[in-house]
Structure 1
């Protein structure tokens, strides 16, 4: 009887580790802190499948060459879609991003129904 209880306790102790796994950002294009030529598409690849209707990004231009006091400017008009194996969030821009610095804030919901968010910066030359 003790062996059965011990085995059950060990099995229950390992379940939260599995249940607590959340999607993680594996890669991005452009990468965090990168400087790139004028992109017209951005991608974020995660460790798990995403729920497309609940996942998205906010893109903000935070600096522009030659304008020291440039106020943050939200970028609008882009489309987001989950592509490929369901783990890549693609951001298609209506035109290439102009030179400047940008913050990309993302929020996704994975198959486990947990909302995860993050943010990184990149520059366009």
Structure 2
């Protein structure tokens, strides 16, 4: 019985001695427009991450948070865009150029480790 237990546990013990593979989560490396930037009417948004993305599980939410001359403007979700993950890059194509205002971009990214990572930043359109 003892011999059987040692035979079964030996591979487990050997596996514990091997170095563990580092499991990293995707981090936002760069974005266009960048955080806190002011840009002229973009029709594409590009987010680059530190890891290759799982396309169907990665994306954004975009909300207009302010409009020039309208101090009481309620946040307005932007709809109708498409997003595509290709390697480490998530490209968002808008149906038309964004109008002047301030925007909040919330992103979520999933890499090979299948953990969802989220973040957000703001930018302005002149």
Q: Which runs of 5+ in 1 are unaligned?
A: 1-7
Within the candidate set 69, 87, 91, 2:72 is matched to 69
User: Which TM-score applies when normalising by structure 1?
Assistant: 0.85
Q: Runs (4+) of structure 1 moved beyond 3 Å?
A: none
Number of positions where the alignment pairs a residue of Structure 1 with one of Structure 2: 113
* Aligned counterparts of 1:67 and 1:111: Cα–Cα separation in 2: 43
Report deviation, 1:15: 2.4
Q: Which runs of 5+ in 2 are unaligned?
A: 1-13
RMSD: 1.7
User: Which TM-score applies when normalising by structure 2?
Assistant: 0.84
1:64-105 per-residue CA deviation (whole Å, 9 max, x = no partner) reads 00000000000000000013xx10000000000000000000
Q: Equivalent residue for 2:33?
A: 30
* Aligned counterparts of 2:17 and 2:104: Cα–Cα separation in 1: 43
Q: Equivalent residue for 2:111?
A: 110
